[in-house]
Structure 1
Amino acid sequence: MKRDEATKLSDELLADLASQLDGGKSEQLVKYLDAMSQFHNYSFGNCLLIARQRPNATLVAGFHAWKKRGRIVKKGEKGICILAPMVRKADDDVEGEKKVFGFRAAHVFDIEQTEGDELPDVNRVGGDPGDALDRLRAASSSLGIVVTEEEDLGGADGVSKGGAVVLRSGLSPAEAFATLAHELAHELLHRGEDRKTLSKSVKELEAEAVAYVVARAAGLENALLQASDYIQCHRGDSEMLAKSLTRIQQTASRLIEAIRETETVAS
């Protein structure tokens, strides 16, 4: 697949997703958010491309990246086409900062298309977040957000207060993890100018989607996602949907990376 073909397919997939949501179908959105939880370092457009070309993919990397990890791509395997950014120093940038000036077609391969050394599985923790909850709390601190607990939050499980998150005491580890991820999403997404332009329902559903992706990445099962309500927020508007999903991907990726960095320091 060439760059233009990949770009066209990505646009078509987004338009199709918006159309399905407008028609009352949310199953495809959940599938793409599941893909996002697996491939949080990839843009939402590339998540769309990966999910479309290989729906059962669980871990992807380029040919040489696999080789560095002790695995090789099996003979005859067909790569998954994605769009990779091309960067270079801007002509007018004296500080040497690199900027994206275009995209090219690149190919990645799912782990099932490779063979070689076994890889550690750090994300699969069943229905219990294990030490991922402690790492998420530590990640919150690294982001400058204080996490505390109170017995009564007026019926809520968590509250975002701008620089602080309060959780209701007594939550199970899984509930605490998902709730903290939800409130951290509010902290990262909705404390700037966006809070003035986005409706309350969009903000809540963005936070819920981020929590879903982060919880799935941590191996939690039955993470709640009010995907059906997303239909009412976007009404088939593919441009609005793309912006929202990009924000969700970037925020979920930031939290997942923060958790992993905390894990590395702790180990």
Structure 2
Amino acid sequence: MRDRPRTGRGHEPKGRCLMAQTTTAAERAARRAADRDRLEQAAHALLSTDGWQRWLRVRATNGLARYSLGNQMLIAWQKPDATFVAGFRAFLKLNRCVRKGEKAIRILAPMTVRQRDADDADEDERRTVFRSVAVFDVSQTDPLPGRDPVALEPPRTPISGDSHARLLTPLENLAGQLGYSVRYLPLDGGADGWCDPHRMEIVINEHLAANAQVRVLVHELAHALGVGYRQYGRQQAEVLVDCVTYIVCGSAGLDVSGESVPYVAGWGEEGALDAIREYAGTIDTIARRIETAIGEDETADDDTANALAA
């Protein structure tokens, strides 16, 4: 499912297919350079508080988790308020149409090409390259007349309720796969839970509502999945797991709008871009592991998934 948008022709100029067949090597190289520059600028945006928080909000939005980390950054950089992104034809299958004049979001999609030798003869070997494609956000579309648009995101429910109690079991199962036991105890102190890597135990406050228990358990599972104080230091580790928690709860449909969006800080100028990429990659990887465990790593329903995969 990841990075397989069907773009259709969207608002590209007529004759686009013919032009694509006759482009020169220099023109193709220029396009690749433009794609690399766009991705580099999107990565640089993560170095600012605003840019980092824009990426987190995009990543926490249902429908965007299926994109690679690089494409998440591209979407956040070009359209920070994006909530559900797809290609022109994919939206048609979701009973929506992109409005005329809307500016496309450019992302990178994988494409398999056949290798050619010096004599231009076809070879059996194939390789994967990435090309820039046009996608759009749902806010750039309108429902098709006479058709009911497919729902693209789950309802947002309060973090204080019990609507997502069903997620506790798969989260506990993930803890078990990692060798951890989960216990619910009456905690009266400041902490609502903790992860003890020595006893291989996660403790959750039994007095919390189920949705809040989900949030705490996701937080502690992020620690169990490798974000420890020894590797990152206490402050940095807590920020990383807060980011994972924000993403997973948001993608599961829990209302995190009142939660503060954490920001990773504490690096120097030298190597800062590499550091922020590594942090974002770690957060994305751990969030995907937890989302997979609770079944939130794909699109909201079968109709949506079929339209996007077709």
Instruction: Specify the TM-score bucket, using the shorter chain as the normaliser.
Output: 0.7 to 0.9
> In the superposition, relative to structure 1, how do residues 175 and 261 fare at CA in structure 2: closer, same or farther (>3 Å)?
closer
**Conservation of the 8 A alpha-carbon contact between 2:60 and 2:248:** yes
Per the TM alignment, residue 71 of structure 1 is displaced from its structure 2 partner at its CA by 2.8
Give the whole-Å Cα distance in 2 for the aligned partners of 1:189 and 1:48.
23
> Of residues 237, 242, 247 in structure 2, which corresponds to 1:208?
242
Give the whole-Å Cα distance in 1 for the aligned partners of 2:195 and 2:89.
42
SS of 1:78's equivalent in the other structure is: coil
- The RMSD of aligned alpha carbons is 3.3
Per the TM alignment, residue 225 of structure 1 is displaced from its structure 2 partner at its CA by 4.2
> In the superposition, relative to structure 1, how do residues 131 and 100 fare at CA in structure 2: closer, same or farther (>3 Å)?
farther
> In the superposition, relative to structure 1, how do residues 127 and 201 fare at CA in structure 2: closer, same or farther (>3 Å)?
closer
**Conservation of the 8 A alpha-carbon contact between 1:41 and 1:253:** no
Sequence identity, in percent? 28
> Of residues 233, 250, 254 in structure 1, which corresponds to 2:289?
254
Show the counterpart of 2:92. Answer: 67
**1:242 counterpart = 2:249:** no
Greater shift in the superposed pair: 132-141 or 201-210: 132-141
Give the whole-Å Cα distance in 2 for the aligned partners of 1:125 and 1:113.
25
Show the counterpart of 2:44. Answer: 15
Give the whole-Å Cα distance in 2 for the aligned partners of 1:119 and 1:164.
42
**Conservation of the 8 A alpha-carbon contact between 2:55 and 2:72:** yes
> In the superposition, relative to structure 1, how do residues 16 and 70 fare at CA in structure 2: closer, same or farther (>3 Å)?
closer
Greater shift in the superposed pair: 78-87 or 52-61: 78-87
Give the whole-Å Cα distance in 2 for the aligned partners of 1:152 and 1:239.
40
Show the counterpart of 2:15. Answer: none
SS of 1:141's equivalent in the other structure is: helix
Give the whole-Å Cα distance in 2 for the aligned partners of 1:158 and 1:10.
38
**Conservation of the 8 A alpha-carbon contact between 1:140 and 1:184:** no
Q: Which amino acid aligns with 2:235?
A: S
Show the counterpart of 1:178. Answer: 215
> In the superposition, relative to structure 1, how do residues 261 and 8 fare at CA in structure 2: closer, same or farther (>3 Å)?
closer
Show the counterpart of 2:138. Answer: 111
**1:53 counterpart = 2:78:** yes
> In the superposition, relative to structure 1, how do residues 137 and 88 fare at CA in structure 2: closer, same or farther (>3 Å)?
farther
> Of residues 77, 81, 106 in structure 2, which corresponds to 1:81?
106
**Conservation of the 8 A alpha-carbon contact between 1:86 and 1:102:** yes
Show the counterpart of 2:232. Answer: 198
Per the TM alignment, residue 35 of structure 1 is displaced from its structure 2 partner at its CA by 1.0
> In the superposition, relative to structure 1, how do residues 45 and 183 fare at CA in structure 2: closer, same or farther (>3 Å)?
same
> In the superposition, relative to structure 1, how do residues 64 and 5 fare at CA in structure 2: closer, same or farther (>3 Å)?
same
Show the counterpart of 2:184. Answer: 149
Between Structure 1 and Structure 2, the one with more helix by share is: 1
> In the superposition, relative to structure 1, how do residues 202 and 12 fare at CA in structure 2: closer, same or farther (>3 Å)?
same
**1:122 counterpart = 2:151:** no
> Of residues 35, 38, 45 in structure 2, which corresponds to 1:6?
35
**Conservation of the 8 A alpha-carbon contact between 1:146 and 1:165:** yes
SS of 1:189's equivalent in the other structure is: coil
> Of residues 163, 179, 203 in structure 2, which corresponds to 1:166?
203
**1:37 counterpart = 2:69:** no
Give the whole-Å Cα distance in 1 for the aligned partners of 2:237 and 2:106.
32
- TM-score normalized by structure 1? 0.75
SS of 1:231's equivalent in the other structure is: coil
Give the whole-Å Cα distance in 1 for the aligned partners of 2:127 and 2:194.
37
**Conservation of the 8 A alpha-carbon contact between 1:129 and 1:173:** yes
**Conservation of the 8 A alpha-carbon contact between 1:210 and 1:251:** yes
Gaps of 5+ in 2: 1-29, 115-125, 302-310
> In the superposition, relative to structure 1, how do residues 223 and 106 fare at CA in structure 2: closer, same or farther (>3 Å)?
same
Gaps of 5+ in 1: 21-25, 90-98
